[in-house]
Each structure stands twice: as C-alpha cells, then as structure tokens.
Amino acid sequence: MRSDPEICDHKALNKALISGKTYSHDQIKDLLGKAKAVYCELGSSATDYYLRQCIQKFQRGAIEDSPIAEMFEDDEKAYLQQKLTRVHFPDAEASLMNSCPCVSPKVEILIDFLRQEDSQDFSGLIFVQTRAEVAVLSHLLSEHIPSFDISTFIGASSFAGRKSALSELADVKNQKTTLDDLRHGRKNLIVTTNALEEGIDVSRCKLVICFDRPPNLKSFIQRRGRARKSDSKYIIMFGEEDESDLVATWTALEAQMKEMYMDEMRQLEEIEKEEDTLEEAAPGSKPILNQSTGARVTIDDAVQHLYHFCATLPAAAYVDRSPIFSFQDHSLDPKERAISATVILPNSVDTSVRQACGISWWRTEKMAKRDAALECYRALNHAGLIDEHLLPLGHVDEAVDEACRAVEKRPNLVEVSSQINPWRRVAEHWAAPTKIPTYTVQVMDLDCVCSEMLLLLPSKLPKIPSFDLHWDATTIFRGSVTNRYHDFSSLAMTTAARANAHLLSSVFPGRLNSCEDCTALFVPCGATDLEHWMERSQGTVGVAELGDKIVADSIGLVRDLSRSGVPHAFRDIIHVSTEEVQDILYNGDRDKAMAYNNATEMNPEEAGGVNKNRKITPPYNDLDVKMLDHVTKEEGANDVYNKSNKRLKFNDKFHDVGDDNGTGMITLLNVTRLPKKIDFLHRSTGQDTCTVSVPKPRTLLAKDCAIDRLPYRSSQFAMFIPSILHKIEVAMVVDRLCEEVLWPLQTQNHGLFTTAISASSAREDTDYQRLEFFGDSMLKYMTSLTLIAGHLNWHEGILSHKKDHIVSNTSLASAARKTGLDKFILTKPFTGRKWRPLYNSVLLQTQQEEKREMSSKTLADVVEALLGAAYLDGGSQQAIACLKIFLPDTQWLSPSEACIILSSVYSNPTSNPNPSPPHLTTISHLISHPFTSPSLLTEALTHPSHQGPHTSSSYQRLEYLGDALLDSIITRTAYTHSPPLPTPKLHLIRTALANGHFLGYLCLHHSIALPRTEPLTSDPKNIATTTTSRPFHLWQAMRHASPTVARAQRDCVARYEILHPSIAAQLDHGSTYPWSLLARLEPPKAMSDIVESLLGAIYIDTSGSLDACTGFLEKVGLMAYLRRVMAEEEGEGVALLHPKEEVGQLADRERVRYEVGREGEGGDGVDGEEGRRGGDGEGVDAGRERGKGKRLTCRVFVGEREVAYVGDGMSVAEVKVRAAEVACGVLRREGKGKGRGGVEGKERGGGKEEEEGEEDEDDEVQTEMLVDEEGEKSDSDSYVTADE
C-alpha cells in the first residue's frame, strides 16, 4: 500500500501498522501458536517436523499452483516466502527415531502402551485436541511402531472468511476411505479430533485412548461408546498430580453412563412396542396410491422404493447414488423424544424435488427416516418422475432391457406390402379420357437432340429430372421428359396406338402382344399426320432403292436376311470388285472360309467335339454368326436353329458371293451390331465382354440385307423406351409418396425423396445410405432437444431411455409399416430382361395383394433418410413435420421453441438459483464464450459428486444435449463436404471424432495462459518479483467434491505429460488415427463429459446457435482435425478404421481371438489369460492393472495361429488395441485382405471376432494357462512382438 499511492487507504494502513493484524501476519501467528502446542504435548522433534512440513507444503504450493497457494495474493506469497526463509531447523531430523529428549514423556508412554496392545485383531482410536496434533502424532507413531496401519481423520469445519492455509497439515480430501479402511481391516489405528465423537458411523473398536482429558461429560460418554468390542479398553491420559480426583470422577461417570444406557434401552423397547400403534395414527402418513393400477407405497416400504429410485439414476464414476438422511431432535423432555428426518437425493435429481422433510415427529430415527422417504417419494410422484405403477419412470429390468437391445441389433425380416405400381392409376384414367396430356421425350448427345417423341398419358406426370442412357462403354445419351403444355385429341388414339406398336415392333417384335392396349403411347414429335408417317415408315427396302444420297441417321436398321433378320446399325456402303471381296470378307484366306462353311454344315458334336450349346464363331472378325439373345430365343427364329436335328443352316454365300447385275462389282454394307441389352440406365459390367467394349464394325453383303423404312434414330429411341418408362415410374412412385404419406410436407426437391426411398439393391442412380447417415443424426438431435425442453425435471437416465426408445429400429420400422411407407420403398433393380409393354387390361385386372420380405433395418433406415431429405428440402420446420407423420405420439418441438423454453429456465434466477462459478471471466475466456446466464456455466461444470441440497444440478442433462449437438455438427460438416464423402468414410469420421478418449484428450490439451507473480530471489532482505504465466486447463474448471476424482485427474495428467507429444504428432501429421495412444491415455469420462456439457450450455445460452457451438469446437481443436480427416488427398488420407475392425477384415472368414493375461504369470509370462468385464469403463481405474506391479499382455489368434503378442499393458482395452495394430501389420505383410482398411471397413464383412473370457474392460484378470492342442508353444515365426 505504501508503494502504490493510488490504492493506498491511509486509515486502513495506520490501523494495520498499529494492530499488526493482516492476513499474512495472522497466518504466521497461527502457525507459531500451533507449533507451541505441539511442543508442549509431543516434544521438540515433533515441533521441528511440524514446522518443516508446513513450510515445505507452502513452498511447494507456491510453485505448483495448489489450492493452498490460491488462498494468498501474489504479494502475500512473496512476503511469507521472505519470512519463512528465516526459519532454521536442526540437521538431525532423524532424532525422531530416538526416544527420550526428542518426544515428550507422554508420547513415550503412549508408544510403550501401544506396543503391548498390538495384536492381530487390534483396532483403535486416539483422540487429541488439535488438527496439528493429529498429523504430527500419526507421523510419530508410524515411525516408532511400523507394525500399525495408521490413518487420520479430522473435521471439515470452515468459517466465513478465508481458511487457515499455512498451519494446516492434514488434508480432508485424503480421508474419504479412512472409515471403510478401518471397518475392513486395512487400517487398525486412527488418530482423530472430536470429529469422530458423534454423527459418524464408526465400527466397534478394541481400544479408545484420550490423549488429553475429555473436556466434558458429553465427550467422555461419546468416546466411551466407541469402545464397543468385547474386552475393549477405554484409556484416559493425564498427569499424576490429578490422579486421585479424576479417577474417582471418571469411575462415577462410567457408572452413571451405564445407568443412562440401561434406561435408554428400556425406553427403546417401549418405543418399539408402541411404534405399530403410533404409526397408523401418525397424521399425514397416508400411503401413496395410484387409482388406475392399484399400486401402493406405504411408510413401511418407502425407504426401499426411494433407494430403488436412486439406483436407477445415471451411473457416474466416484459417485454414491444413495440418498442421504439427516435427523433433527426437537425433544423438550428427554423421556419424550421428538425426531424428524430430512433426505437429500443426488444432484442428478431436479432441485425442486431433491430435498424432502418428514411431516411428523417420531420417537425413533427409523420411523423418522421412513416418514421422510415417504414424503420424498410422494414429491417424486407429483413431479412425474414415477410411473403409474409407482416405479421409477423409464426404468425396466436390466436383464430384460439387455435382451431387447441384443434382439434389436439383429435386423429381422418382416412381411411388407409389395412395391406400389403407379401405372394402375394411369390405366384407370384411360377408361374415359377426353383430352390426353402430351410430354416431350428427348434423347440428346451432348447438346444435340438425336431423337424426340411425344409421350401420351391420361395422367399428369411429376417433374422428372434428366437421366443418363448408357448406349455402350463410351457413348452416353441424355434423356429428358418435359411437359408439352397442350393436349392430344382422343379421336387420334387408335392411330397413336398403332404408331406406338410399330415403333416397339422394330426392336421388340417378340414382346408385343397387343397394338391398341398399351398404357404409355409414344408417337413421332414432328409428324402432323400419323397415318402418313405410318405409311412412310413401314416395311423394308433394298440397298438399290436408297438412291445416291445416303444419310446414316435417316436409314433404318439393316437386317441380315441370311441370319433371320438380325438388326444392325448402318455405317457405310462400299462397292468393290469380286477380287477385293475375298480380302474384305475372308481376310484373303479362301480355304479358311470354306473350312468354316463346312464346319457349320455338320452336327456340332461332329465338328471337333464342339459343345452343342456353344455359339460357333468364325476365326476372323468381319463376319460373325452369333445371334442376339432376344432374336434367337424370344422372337422365335426357328429357321436359325432347328430343334429337331440340332443343325445350324446358312446360305451358300460362303461358296459364291456373285456380283451385282453382271458389272463385276459387289456392294457391301459396313454395319455394327446393336447392344445386347435392354437396360440402358446402368453402365455395362464386366460380366459380358460384348457389352463392355464398343461394338466392332462388320461387313455384310448388300444383296442379303434389307433396310427398315423406319429411321434408325426412331428404332434407337424404341430401345430406350423400357429405361425411360422406368424413370417415369420411379418419379410417379415418389409423387404418390408425397401425396399419400408426406402430404403435410411442402416438398420441393423430389430428387431428395427419390434417393431416400431407394435401397442399394434397387441400383438407382443414388441410394439412401448417405441420407440415412444424415437423418440418423438429425433424429438424435431433434429427439434430444424435444425431450430435454419438454421435460425439465427429467434426469439424464430417463431422457436417454426415452430417446433410445424413440430412435430405435423397432420403433421406426413399426412407424414405416403403420404409415404405409413400406410399399413405396424401391428394392427391386431394373434389368429389362423380363420387360414387356404395359397393357391397360392387365393392369386393371383384380389381383391379390402381393407381399414381400424386407429387413426391419431397411424400413428404419428409409424413415431416417426421409427425415434427412425433409431437413435438406425445407429446414428444421420441414423435419419436424416429417417426424410428426411417423412418430405422432411424441410432442415434437422445433429447435427455436425448445430454446425459448430452456433459455427461460436458466435466465430466471428464482427457478435456477445456481451461484456463479469462481473465475467466471477466466473460464469464459478459456472457451471463447461470455455467458449471459452464469447458472448455465455453473451447471455445465458441476460433477455429480458435488452434492448438497442447494448445489447446482450436475452437468448430466447438458451433457446429454451436448452429445447430440456434437454428433449433429460433425455429421453436417462431413455430409456437406465437397466432393461428397462415401458413406463408410462418414461413419468412420463420426466414430473417431465423437470418441470419448479423443474428447478427453482435447479437454486435457486446451488451456490459456494466466499471469502470475513469482519471487526472483530468496534473500529476505531484498525480495524481487517477476510476472510470468501459468496454464489454466479446461479440466481444471470442473467442480467436484471427491478426492477420488482429484486423484484420477492427477494420474491422467501424469499420463498426458508422457503421451501428449506422440498423440499431438499423430493428430497433426500422422496417417492413422491414434487409437492405441488414446486408449493408453484413458482420460476419465468426466473430461469428455465436460466438453459435451459446455457444448449444450453454449447452445442454450445463444438460443440455439450451432455456429457458436462450432466456434467452441474450433477453439478446442476438434474442427481442425475434422477438416484434416475429410481431406481426401492422393494416397494421404487418414486411416480411421479401428485396429480391431481392421483385423477382422484382414482375417476374412477366419475367427479372431484375443487372450489377455499378466506379465510373469502362467509360466514364462507370455501365456494367455482370461479376463472378466469390470464395469462400464468410467474412470481411470476401470480395467486398469490396479497397481499390482504386473502389466497386462495380449495375444491375437487368427484361426488357430497366433499372429501377435504385446505386453506392458495398462488396461485391457489399451493392450488389445495395441495387439490388434501389431496383428494388422503382420496380416498386411502376408498380403491378406485389402490392407489399411479405411473406407472399406463398412463395406466388407470381416472375420468373426471372439475374445476369451472378457470384453472391453476388466476390474480383475483371472489367470489361466492356455496352450495349443499339442501342448507346445506356437511357432515363433508366426507372430511378432510390439518391439519387433
């Protein structure tokens, strides 16, 4: 204050100088006073130990930023450092081990007495006056009597000001398990203050020692009551000068206590007799009754029901979910006891019903406890947290729930309606048409229209997007259907039907049954007179009739009459001499042509043993006798293949080609065969080599050919008709879907909904896989938001249970069938093999409704895909309307509506009186978001272990919301990436980035620098300070009240310091995701929960801003890594597939088995061992090797062969991941599978994985030696170790 006049308060300064009362000075005086007390009671060496430990503790805290150092300002720390450096200690600290002058005579007597009382079943308490004596005496006894297991216990008292930090040596946080250790024999002697006199359950002790005289009768009686074992002793230590008076006093008090105890026992017996009659007469203790079900909860079973309710609350590591009861004594007369009880539930329960009090006063604590439990359960029932059976809401039997989940994971086949046929409605409209709408159908090559037809239909068609028509491997046409905006007269329908039949018969003569009954009619677009067009386009002409001007597109199909009119596409006409024709037709080899002709005239079995079913192909390319399948088999070409004698007949052109009109010139036609397919919507596959490559040109004799009058482009269009009609059919199915099921939606982009109902088996242009991935995330997001806003007092356990039920495949599949969605799902692929023209008479026939089988997962996936399509088509309002169609039982809220409800709760100080967290500005800066509702930040940082009646609710509800938000943000970003990522890659990205270990690492890593002042020198006469910085990490902001949580954090931070460089390098530059490193880090689940809860808090605080949530994820580093894994660089993508999944892929059909053991056990330390599940994996200790000094090992077997072995495992999950990585390397080097496995992970089956005796996490590992069938170790060359 002297050095800074601006902040100097002269009055306060003078007062401080006169009185000497400052916080730092008071701390030194307090330390001196307690040191004097220790000296008087325990001796000089004890005082040296006490002062040395207090000073060292302060100095360590100043460096390490412990809670002790945070109680002092920087200037105060510098001042105390200066003063404490003047304290000098004797060098012989080892004098503690000697007797006589180092300890007081009182301590010597105590040590000798305890040595005499030492036994196997010993248990005792030593009461001292001060907390300082507790710490020092326990240390003295541990040094002098090492056979005792000594612990300490002090009270957790505090006062309104700052706590005394300098003189405190004992730590309350380290005594949580002290009493349990005493009960179970892990500790047998506790040094304590009067904190254990009453109110705490302490097991019966064999010895109780009062190191000082009890201050009053109450303390004497309470301490005496702790020695309840048979043959127990109660020892009081005092000086010899007080012996005569005190012994008589204590003896009288002992007798008085026994008399009072017997009186109390008699009173209790009387009370127990009266309780039954008093219970019925107690006012207000009437039972809870549900009239509809008859369920009933009385005061007798209320406690059991309340414990059951607490057991169904969300489980969390280091948290006791039991209710806490406290009792209040209102007695005015000792003989007439009046006791009431209060119960406090865990902080995952809403604050409005977390605390309840009994409504009556009782003579026993047991009845008061029942009364409080009944009233608490009554409040839970009124709050809607109890169902009609008076059981916890949303709770089901764990065994039944697990079985249901297992069944649901296996998709089952269900019977559904067959796919709807939209042409039936078109056939119905043909019954009485007046004017027929017309549509223009074009086939284009690049920007040029190749062919154009009119489509006549009596129904209005929806908008049909253009589509590709794959003519061959290199030629792709573009098809389109557009409205012509004028009608076609019904009087010309007969001519139009004949024109349509003529068009189809040019390429499908064997598939046309009727000319006038077709449902879809195609007629020439530019023909004003159809009759005239029919006359001009019917029949064939010879080559001579073509004239001189020949245009390829105007010439019809060329039919080879020597092969029953097989159609070809015209290319060119050639005139050659008779001498040149041999080279053109037979490649100059006349003998070869003759030999081929002779071979075709004999029975196939006689021609060199040729198979009779094999098509005979000439040994040259210009002539080919192979026939089109649809000509030889479906058009009845009996003259080509004679079934009676199994002989092939050909003309004699191979013997004599002749000439044209004796001119000596031969006319040849250069042609190509038409594609051997009817499905032009899909690219040709490699199964038929004839359709993969471009058809080769052929040469035919002109005199053996006829040419259609119908232009080639018209015939080509006719070949496209089956594919065009299929596209129209799909569009009509989607239109019917929007009309009959999705009618509440204002659909704009029908292409999205076409994708949503197209299964991969349908082989449409797209399938629903990507949309289903997006819709799944949207469903989770919408459901979580609706539930958390619609049920403000539901805890996370109920919310998760309800959400899982809503989004389950069973629920969605049932919704699909109820709404009739099943009949619109496209599953059957279009191939064209069995295509026939559509006929009205056939469509209008009454047919029995057909059924088909479909996977329940497919039904559920289509619902999710439609939800994704609705969101992309019209935003969140469209998505909510879609949800109301399929899941009408849920009262859906839009994101804006939900945010209004949630924001009002946290902005209302009356409904949410949560105190603002300390360092609010620091935490806001850490997460780059200034909270307008500080109570949101408080709740987001509160661990479930932070108990109390007025404590903020835990972060579990916000974490539940944040989990859905994280999933949604990752999914949206990955889905909208350009170019689009394949579905398997999307799944891998979401799995990797929403991983709990990854989020925990981000929580450990994210920090900001805070300024701090430190002394530069230790010279007390010349103290200089400097300003430095210290990191403040995100995990340090969590509010908890558990020493176990603090210990887990410290252990994890120690692992983080070791593993951080490797993990950071892998995330920044590595080609694989660091699965094994993160598993070895194994951050507590609370760290990942904090990230998600803050995400939920920011979302509510910003009224639903996903941009703000994304900004937070950007700040912690998640978005940067997301961008990296989405980047598909050439050969440099990040492999995200989990090593265990990759092993399954590489193993193919072989079984994969993991065997976990411990190093050094089972013989040579490498034998396999079995493990057991140890819990849900929460916390640092779950599955960890428990500090037994032996790390875990893991062997990986593929089939019966051991392929990998690793050791030095910290947990079961971590050692198996590392073993899987080694196994992947071995299998890749052996050339098995696809290698790295990235996107292929979801596309392939993979091997069957089996784990011997354990799953993902172990609390213990049971040892069992495992050897192969021959009793010998496997070949060492068949596997490698991690070091290799």
User: Which residue in this structure is represented by tokens 């210009």?
Assistant: 622
pLDDT at 277: 52
Which tokens belong to 842?
């056939």
User: 647 falls in which pLDDT band (50, 70, 90)?
Assistant: very low
Residue 1175, Ramachandran bin (φ over 0: left; ψ between -120 and 50: alpha; else beta) = left
Regarding predicted confidence, which is higher, 486 or 927? 927
* CA separation for the pair 600, 477 (Å, rounded): 39
Read off the pLDDT of residues 433-463 as tens digits, 9 standing for 90 and up: 667 888 999 999 877 888 999 999 888 899 9
pLDDT at 1281: 33
pLDDT at 656: 46
pLDDT at 863: 97
207: amino acid identity, one letter: L
Give 441's strand partners.
453, 481
The mean pLDDT value for 297-302 works out to 90
pLDDT at 22: 77
Residue 965: count other Cβ atoms within 10 Å of its Cβ: 25
Instruction: Single out the catalytic residue among 41, 560, 635, 864.
Output: 864
Task: Return the top range by mean pLDDT from 33-47, 413-427, 603-617, 771-785.
Answer: 771-785
Task: Return the top range by mean pLDDT from 143-152, 272-281, 1095-1104.
Answer: 1095-1104
pLDDT at 580: 74
CA distances to 203, 250, 253 from 207, rounded to whole Å, are 12, 17, 19
pLDDT at 1258: 36
Residue 623: count other Cβ atoms within 10 Å of its Cβ: 21
Position 1096 pLDDT exceeds 90: yes
Cis status of the peptide bond prior to 90, with omega within 30 of 0: no
* CA separation for the pair 1162, 1169 (Å, rounded): 8
pLDDT at 488: 67
3-state secondary structure 1181-1206: CCCECCCCCCCEEEEEEECCEEEEEE
Whether 776 is catalytic: yes
High-pLDDT (> 90) share of the chain, %: 36
Q: What is the DSSP string of 208-228?
A: EEESS--SSHHHHHHHHHH--
**Total H helices, total E strands in the chain:** 40, 34
Position 413 pLDDT exceeds 80: yes
CA distances to 45, 92, 102, 780 from 48, rounded to whole Å, are 5, 10, 10, 63
Position 130 pLDDT exceeds 60: yes
Which tokens belong to 247?
């012994």
Which tokens belong to 294?
């008859």
Angle at 562 between CA 558 and CA 568, to 5 degrees: 20
Regarding predicted confidence, which is higher, 432 or 798? 798
Regarding predicted confidence, which is higher, 464 or 948? 464
pLDDT at 680: 92
3-state secondary structure 1219-1238: HHHHHHHHHHHCCCCCCCCC
DSSP 1150: S
Read off the pLDDT of residues 1138-1195 as tens digits, 9 standing for 90 and up: 999 999 999 988 999 999 998 866 433 333 333 333 333 333 343 444 334 578 999 9
980: amino acid identity, one letter: P
By CB atoms closer than 10 A (0-12, 13-18, 19+), residue 20 is exposed
Position 739 pLDDT exceeds 60: yes
- The overall average pLDDT reported for the chain is 78
Instruction: Single out the catalytic residue among 168, 708, 776, 1141.
Output: 776
Rounded to a whole number of angstroms, the CA Rg of the chain reads 44
* CA separation for the pair 822, 281 (Å, rounded): 62
Least confident interval from 113-117, 289-293, 685-689: 685-689
Whether 387 is catalytic: no
Determine phi and psi for 701, rounding to 5 degrees: -70, 130
User: 1055 falls in which pLDDT band (50, 70, 90)?
Assistant: very high
Least confident interval from 149-163, 957-971, 1027-1041: 149-163
The mean pLDDT value for 1238-1245 works out to 43
The mean pLDDT value for 859-888 works out to 95
* CA separation for the pair 901, 788 (Å, rounded): 10
Least confident interval from 102-111, 217-226, 843-852, 1179-1188: 1179-1188
Read off the pLDDT of residues 889-932 as tens digits, 9 standing for 90 and up: 999 999 999 999 999 988 876 555 555 666 778 888 899 899 98
Comparing C-alpha atoms, which of 144, 110, 102 is closest to residue 128? 110
pLDDT at 512: 80
* CA separation for the pair 595, 603 (Å, rounded): 14
pLDDT at 802: 92
Residue 203: count other Cβ atoms within 10 Å of its Cβ: 14
781 in Cβ contact with 964 (< 8 Å): yes
Least confident interval from 45-54, 249-258, 870-879: 249-258
* CA separation for the pair 967, 983 (Å, rounded): 15
Q: What is the DSSP string of 125-190?
A: EEE-SSHHHHHHHHHHHHHH-TTS-EEEE------SS----SS--S-GGGGTTHHHHHHTTS--EE
Position 133 pLDDT exceeds 80: yes
Position 845 pLDDT exceeds 90: no
Least confident interval from 299-303, 598-602, 732-736: 598-602
User: 804 falls in which pLDDT band (50, 70, 90)?
Assistant: very high
* CA separation for the pair 383, 794 (Å, rounded): 9
The mean pLDDT value for 1230-1247 works out to 51
Read off the pLDDT of residues 358-388 as tens digits, 9 standing for 90 and up: 998 888 888 899 999 999 999 999 999 998 9
Which tokens belong to 576?
């050659």
User: 164 falls in which pLDDT band (50, 70, 90)?
Assistant: low
The mean pLDDT value for 1094-1116 works out to 95
Helix (H, G, I), strand (E, B), or coil: what is residue 1030?
strand
Sign of CA dihedral 873, 879, 880, 882: positive
Least confident interval from 583-587, 762-766, 1134-1138: 583-587
The mean pLDDT value for 878-897 works out to 95
Comparing C-alpha atoms, which of 923, 920, 914, 916 is closest to residue 952? 914
Determine phi and psi for 478, rounding to 5 degrees: -120, 125
Comparing C-alpha atoms, which of 1275, 1271, 1265 is closest to residue 1166? 1265
Read off the pLDDT of residues 170-194 as tens digits, 9 standing for 90 and up: 777 677 778 888 877 888 889 988 8
